[in-house]
Chain A
Amino acid sequence: MKKESELPPRSQDEVSSVQLKRDDSFARLTLLVAALCFAAAAAHFFAAWYLHAWQYWFTGGLTILAGVGYLVIRGLLPLHRLALTRVLAWLIPYLLFPPMAFFWSNATLPLIAVVFVMQLFQGIVLYGRKRLPLILALALFGVVTVLVINAFPLWPRYDATGTWLSRLVLMIVPALAGLVILMAAIRGARRFRTIRTRLVVAFVVAVLLGAGVISVGSIVVTRQNTIDQAYTQLDAVVLLKEEMLNAWAANLYLDLDTMLVEEYEIDRARMLLSGTGADALVSEMRQSLRARLRRLVDQARRFDELFLIDPAGKVALSSDQAQEGKFFTYETYFQKGLQARYISPPTYAFSTGKVAIFVVQPIFDQDGSLLGVLGGRANMGALNDMMLRGAPLGQSGEVYLVGINHALLTELRIDRYAYLQNPGIDTVLQKQNSGQGEYEGRRGDPVLGVYKWLPDLKMALLVEMERAEVFQGTQQTLWVNVILAVGAAALAVVIANFFTQDISLALTELSDVATRIAGGEQGLVAKTDRADEIGMLARAFNSMTGQLRELIGGLERRVEERTQSLEAVAEVSRATTSVLDPEKLLPQVVTLVQEHFHLYYVGLFLVNENGDQAVLRAGTGEAGRQMMEHTWQLEIGGESMIGQCVATGRPGVRQTEGDIVVRFENPFLPQTRSELALPLRYGTQIIGAMTVQSVQESAFDKTSIALLQNMADQVAVAVENARLFTTTQQALARAYEVQRRYQAQAWEDYMSTRPVTGYELRANELQPLTEELLPDVRQMLRDRRPFVESGKLIVPIVQGDRIVGVLGFEGREGQTEWGAEEIALVQALSEQLLLAAENQRLLDQTQRSAARERTIGEVTGRVRQALDMQGVLRTAADELQQVLNLERVVVRMAPQDELDT
């Protein structure tokens, strides 16, 4: 087994394919993400309904599409369409997040972050780190897409940070991506090698996750409550200050109302404003009224100046004498004041160099005739004090008033500005309504602000608190939570380490025992002193190893038995194939089978010539002998096991098994408890059957039946071979006898045609021999073996078992003995001589046959050359006479009936 590092490097496709195929957690992850997408879509749709923002219908639709996409990925995984899966997985975040910029404003950064992180994460998971440049390029492309879409809004977009719900929905986007990555990270933790490490990591992750969820939840709730409380507080201050402003304005009117109450005062005012009366009297009246105005200014201190303006707009009287004689004919507050009570917007007063508010009202005489306008320039210091005083807004809280053109009408507690601009001021001045929001304050810090437009005063009231101060408590909660989470994680590590060490040690011991057992120490047992699951595992392990030991021992025994059986089969086969005589073979087969398989009885049946009976041809023991004497035969297809076995070609078994007792009827085999009938199959032919019987109950199982059947098949082959051998031998003997007779007849015929039948070579002279046989030759013919005597050697020429001639030799003078080699040489020579003589005979015979054929041909040719029947007959007669050297030839043509007679 090669280690992973030794294996040839696999392509990235293969690696990813293996990852995707092997790990079904990827499939579960896609299902989880799909479910999250649908949940997120529900949040979008809720936001669309709750906020009346159509944009969320579309973002919800996009999220639904993403969920469907992940379901499609889940469906693709079993199809192993890896490339398609990759493309789809890459497309989904791309189709989901950037298009949201079409519908959301102020969501650029979260969308960019999510697109970039998701594309980067998915790219690495799907394509591996080797393609990091490409992945980075694709991720950046996603970012650019968000920026492009954001730069060119096609329709009004919804402020994603405008409300708590929209912020929550916006947070779902990075939360979704974060959850996916977290799941992948937890999945990656499975790469830790030891259970202990995994358990510790799992403990810590669980604790951190729990603490994190609780912390985030508490922080979110706390923050939201804090914001709500802050806005409630700011609203209360706005309400308070508005009430104070209304009271202040009411008091201003009240002061004006009390200025000219008495009739004499009105007469004086009329006299002054109309300019009637003696100069001295008017002057006195003026001084008297001016003194009164000054007293009112000094006492109430709500006005810096009080004045009377005549209908032409000329200041007839003022508590500030320098203002008398001026004309306010075209001033708005004067013109308004001629008609009704009026309080002017904050207006710059050049006489004082400060912003002032003018409060005016018309004055009438007893007849209701308009005398002029009574007015005053309000004390802005009181207004300033009103804003600065009594606002429970912590260190950073500010309450201030802003004019139409962003001019700061009251002082700030902390800084000094003439003009002020922030989103809160812009909104309230632009829309001239009330509202609240979080925006950048005067020093660039985010503030929570509540603003209200005061239509009567034509100014805006703003109350602000710095966000940092508002969330100071939340910050502390956050830090406490972080510290608690870290502490809990550390504690989790310690506790997990403590518990997992115990588990890990026990498992390690068990692992060591298993390793040693695998190494061959099969007698080892694991400790079982624990009462927990590991103790149960150890006991189960010991039980398993015990069973394994027994199993291995049993297997070894069975292998040994099987080996012996196979050896017996081989022995039987070897022995049977070496015997070709069926009369010897069959008894030998049954004996060998009985001996090698320790059987009670073995019998062998062969099908008779009629094919209707299986005749016992061999049987072991006394029982076999007796049954042979009784010519034991069984009907094929009958009720007997052998008959059924031969008829069906399938083995049959009957045996006593436990309570199931089988009765065996054969009186010669009373001790049989198990019987097996095996067909003797030779090809498709059943030539007989073999019965094997045992005194043991349930002696034959499937394995032993198969084994014995295998042996029976080989026995069948041996039997059939022996039978075929015998048949062949008999055919050969018959052919040999025919040949011998033919050759003998041929030689007799041939020799009868020869004038000389023997030759003698003496002194290099060849002489024909007479027909009379020499005595020595007669002796040799009687003995049918070489004759050696007195230097003579006579060797028969034998053809088959017949002597067709002899070779005789007589040694030179003095040679009385013939050596064995010389005899053998002569015998060999005699064989060659016979062969040459046989060839010569055959040649002569052939030549004669050829001459006859030629003659027939020639005669036939000449006969055919005749032109008429008479010619034919004549030519035939002539030729036959000539060829056959006949004296008379008769050729006659006649009808059949004549010939018959």
Chain B
Amino acid sequence: MKRAALSHHRARPIFDRVIFALVRSLGVFLLLSVLLVVGLSACRRAPEVEKVTLRLSGPHSVEWAGLYAAQLEGYYAAENLDVTILPAADASSSADVLAGEADFGVMSGGDLLLARARSEPLVAVFAILRRSPLAVMALAENGIVQPRDLRSKRVGIVSADMRAVKDVQFLSLMEQVSVTLAELEAAPVGEEGIAPLVEQRVDAIAYAWATRDAMAAREAGYEVTLSYFFDYGVLEYPYVIFTDASTIARRPDLPARFVRATLAGYRHVLINPDRAAELTLSYDPSLNLEAQQAMWQALIPFIDTGDAPVGTMEEGVWQSTQWVFLNHGLLEAPVALNDLYTNQFVAQSGN
């Protein structure tokens, strides 16, 4: 049978045989192409997802909505990252990062400056809030509309020795408006929030958050006035994402991918503000949706100041923070600001 088939094959016209060979070649080509595609697709299989841990500097809150969006909306996944977002713990976030228990952490710019002064190799890569919401807050009825109005007023501070960072910043603010401590009555109230104010134990709080504290006061039915620290040259990044300098040196792609996805996450919740609170509740369902939504609206101007891409840091802010710390002895010597922070990852992320 095979012999017959072969003889039949030999009997075909040469044109027919050439065409048959051509078609067979095309068939083989097609098959190889499909195999190539399948093979390439197998070769291009996504590498294993990289587990990353981020330690926050506070509890779950809508302040971190961009981080939640990056994880839950797939921006981290698109960068092949699976980010575990952990709320603040007993140990500081810098300790976790330095110990290798977290890849990234969140802390204030002031704390980072102090850590750097302690030779801890931490580098800020992303500023969650580009403006500090820290402000002197007073009830409207107290008539305090600017810091110099604090003269002869009872002002709630953190500690009596005025060595806390926020107290130092408040002192700097007073210096800017030429008001001395002697001209006012400083009352240590710790970090109790708005309670001392609404209970009228003080006329003003030296350090209040224009977002959560002001909202709490307003929810409690009080009109308040705010004097932002940054309006008087006392600037600080309250939340910066940082990582170990060795990570940047050793694996620059990791912070690059992390920052790119984080930026996309924050842009996502800026464009879809309603999602911010919803995503936050995915991490802490006990939070109040409406309160988180309101807080997000209040946070937006501090995240996007409009004049630079979200997450970008400016040297002037770091200079201001360092100036305050140097003036009041929290820092003995200036820190090399170039080593303290970098905008390269935000810049690489584009708009």
Q: Which residues on B sit within 8 Å (CB–CB) of A99?
A: 33
Interface contact A75-B270, CB-CB below 8 Å: no
Smallest CB–CB gap between B88 and chain A, Å?
27
Q: Does B146 contact A (CB under 8 A)?
A: yes
With both beta carbons as reference points, the residue of chain A lying nearest to B231 in the complex is identified as: A326
Interface contact B34-A145, CB-CB below 8 Å: yes
Query: Which residues of A are at the interface with B, using a C-beta cutoff of 8 A?
Result: 72, 75-76, 79, 81, 84, 87-88, 91, 94-95, 99, 145, 148-149, 151-152, 154, 313-314, 322, 325-332, 335, 344-348, 350-351, 353, 355, 403-407, 418-421, 426, 429-430, 458
By secondary structure, the B interface counts as: helix
CB-contact partner of B235 in A330, A347, A407, A418, under 8 A: A330
Docked pose: A152 CA to B301 CA in angstroms: 41
Interface contact B305-A72, CB-CB below 8 Å: no
Docked pose: A407 CA to B130 CA in angstroms: 15
The A-contacting residues of B in range 269-323, CB under 8 angstroms, are 270-271, 273, 300-301, 304-310, 314, 316-317, 319-320
Docked pose: A420 CA to B16 CA in angstroms: 64
Docked pose: A327 CA to B304 CA in angstroms: 21
Smallest CB–CB gap between B348 and chain A, Å?
12
Interface contact A419-B271, CB-CB below 8 Å: yes
Interface contact B317-A330, CB-CB below 8 Å: yes
The A-contacting residues of B in range 137-152, CB under 8 angstroms, are 145-146, 148
Q: Which residues on B sit within 8 Å (CB–CB) of A407?
A: 270, 304, 306
Docked pose: A152 CA to B176 CA in angstroms: 61
Closest 4 CB pairs of A and B: A330-B316, A327-B233, A429-B351, A347-B307
What are 16 A-B pairs with beta-carbon distances under 8 A?
A88-B23, A152-B40, A326-B231, A328-B233, A330-B235, A330-B317, A331-B316, A332-B307, A348-B301, A405-B267, A405-B309, A406-B271, A406-B351, A419-B270, A419-B273, A426-B351
Smallest CB–CB gap between B334 and chain A, Å?
15
Q: Which residues on A sit within 8 Å (CB–CB) of B267?
A: 405-406, 421
* A346/B307 contact (C-beta < 8 A), A322-B145, A430-B350 known: yes
Docked pose: A403 CA to B301 CA in angstroms: 13
Q: Which residues on A sit within 8 Å (CB–CB) of B177?
A: 325
The A-contacting residues of B in range 253-279, CB under 8 angstroms, are 267, 270-271, 273
* A79/B233 contact (C-beta < 8 A), A91-B27, A152-B44, A430-B351 known: no
Interface membership of chain B positions 20-35, coded 1 if the CB is closer than 8 angstroms to chain A and 0 otherwise = 1011001100100110
With both beta carbons as reference points, the residue of chain A lying nearest to B318 in the complex is identified as: A330
Smallest CB–CB gap between A217 and chain B, Å?
37
Interface membership of chain B positions 74-104, coded 1 if the CB is closer than 8 angstroms to chain A and 0 otherwise = 0000000000000000000000000000000
* A95/B146 contact (C-beta < 8 A), A148-B41, A330-B233, A330-B235 known: no
* A332/B306 contact (C-beta < 8 A), A325-B148, A348-B301, A419-B271 known: no
Q: Does B131 contact A (CB under 8 A)?
A: yes
With both beta carbons as reference points, the residue of chain A lying nearest to B24 in the complex is identified as: A87
With both beta carbons as reference points, the residue of chain A lying nearest to B300 in the complex is identified as: A418
Other A-B pairs beyond A327-B176, A330-B233, A345-B307, 5, CB < 8 Å: A95-B26, A325-B232, A345-B306, A348-B304, A421-B267
Q: Does B19 contact A (CB under 8 A)?
A: yes
Docked pose: A99 CA to B36 CA in angstroms: 12
Q: Which residues on B sit within 8 Å (CB–CB) of A418?
A: 270, 273, 300
Q: Which residues on A sit within 8 Å (CB–CB) of B300?
A: 418
Docked pose: A344 CA to B314 CA in angstroms: 15
Interface contact A91-B30, CB-CB below 8 Å: yes
Interface contact B233-A84, CB-CB below 8 Å: no
With both beta carbons as reference points, the residue of chain B lying nearest to A432 in the complex is identified as: B351
Interface contact B271-A421, CB-CB below 8 Å: yes
Interface contact B351-A347, CB-CB below 8 Å: no
Interface contact B19-A75, CB-CB below 8 Å: yes
Docked pose: A775 CA to B317 CA in angstroms: 188
How many residues of chain B have a CB within 8 Å of chain A? 48
Smallest CB–CB gap between A58 and chain B, Å?
13
Q: Which residues on A sit within 8 Å (CB–CB) of B235?
A: 330
Interface contact A327-B232, CB-CB below 8 Å: yes
Interface contact A330-B314, CB-CB below 8 Å: yes
* A405/B310 contact (C-beta < 8 A), A148-B37, A148-B41, A430-B351 known: yes
Docked pose: A351 CA to B230 CA in angstroms: 11
**Most chain B C-beta atoms within 10 Å of own C-beta, residue among A79, A149, A154, A326:** A326
* A79/B16 contact (C-beta < 8 A), A330-B233, A404-B309, A429-B351 known: yes
With both beta carbons as reference points, the residue of chain A lying nearest to B319 in the complex is identified as: A330
Q: Which residues on A sit within 8 Å (CB–CB) of B345?
A: none
Smallest CB–CB gap between A698 and chain B, Å?
54
With both beta carbons as reference points, the residue of chain A lying nearest to B234 in the complex is identified as: A327
Interface contact B319-A403, CB-CB below 8 Å: no
Q: Does B221 contact A (CB under 8 A)?
A: no
CB-contact partner of B23 in A87, A313, A420, under 8 A: A87
With both beta carbons as reference points, the residue of chain B lying nearest to A335 in the complex is identified as: B316
Docked pose: A783 CA to B256 CA in angstroms: 158
Interface contact B30-A94, CB-CB below 8 Å: yes
Docked pose: A72 CA to B26 CA in angstroms: 13
Smallest CB–CB gap between A328 and chain B, Å?
8
Q: Which residues on A sit within 8 Å (CB–CB) of B308?
A: 345, 404
Smallest CB–CB gap between B296 and chain A, Å?
11
Q: Which residues on B sit within 8 Å (CB–CB) of A420?
A: 271
Q: Which residues on A sit within 8 Å (CB–CB) of B309?
A: 404-405
Q: Which residues on A sit within 8 Å (CB–CB) of B146?
A: 322, 325
Docked pose: A348 CA to B314 CA in angstroms: 16
The A-contacting residues of B in range 1-24, CB under 8 angstroms, are 13, 15-16, 19-20, 22-23
Interface contact B233-A329, CB-CB below 8 Å: yes
Smallest CB–CB gap between B259 and chain A, Å?
15
Q: Which residues on A sit within 8 Å (CB–CB) of B34?
A: 145
Docked pose: A609 CA to B321 CA in angstroms: 155
Q: Which residues on B sit within 8 Å (CB–CB) of A84?
A: 16, 19-20, 23
Q: Which residues on A sit within 8 Å (CB–CB) of B176?
A: 314, 327
Q: Which residues on A sit within 8 Å (CB–CB) of B13?
A: 79
Interface contact A329-B306, CB-CB below 8 Å: no
CB-contact partner of A332 in B16, B19, B233, B314, under 8 A: B314
CB-contact partner of A152 in B15, B20, B30, B41, under 8 A: B41
The A-contacting residues of B in range 32-71, CB under 8 angstroms, are 33-34, 37-38, 40-41, 44
Interface contact A76-B41, CB-CB below 8 Å: no
Q: Does B209 contact A (CB under 8 A)?
A: no
Q: Does B228 contact A (CB under 8 A)?
A: yes
Interface contact B233-A81, CB-CB below 8 Å: no
CB-contact partner of A404 in B16, B232, B317, B351, under 8 A: B351
Docked pose: A421 CA to B351 CA in angstroms: 11
Docked pose: A149 CA to B41 CA in angstroms: 9
With both beta carbons as reference points, the residue of chain A lying nearest to B308 in the complex is identified as: A404
* A151/B23 contact (C-beta < 8 A), A327-B233, A404-B309 known: no
Smallest CB–CB gap between B335 and chain A, Å?
16
Smallest CB–CB gap between B101 and chain A, Å?
33
Docked pose: A251 CA to B342 CA in angstroms: 37
Interface contact A91-B306, CB-CB below 8 Å: no
Interface contact B316-A332, CB-CB below 8 Å: yes
Interface contact B320-A405, CB-CB below 8 Å: no
Docked pose: A426 CA to B351 CA in angstroms: 7
CB-contact partner of A81 in B16, B26, B41, B310, under 8 A: B16
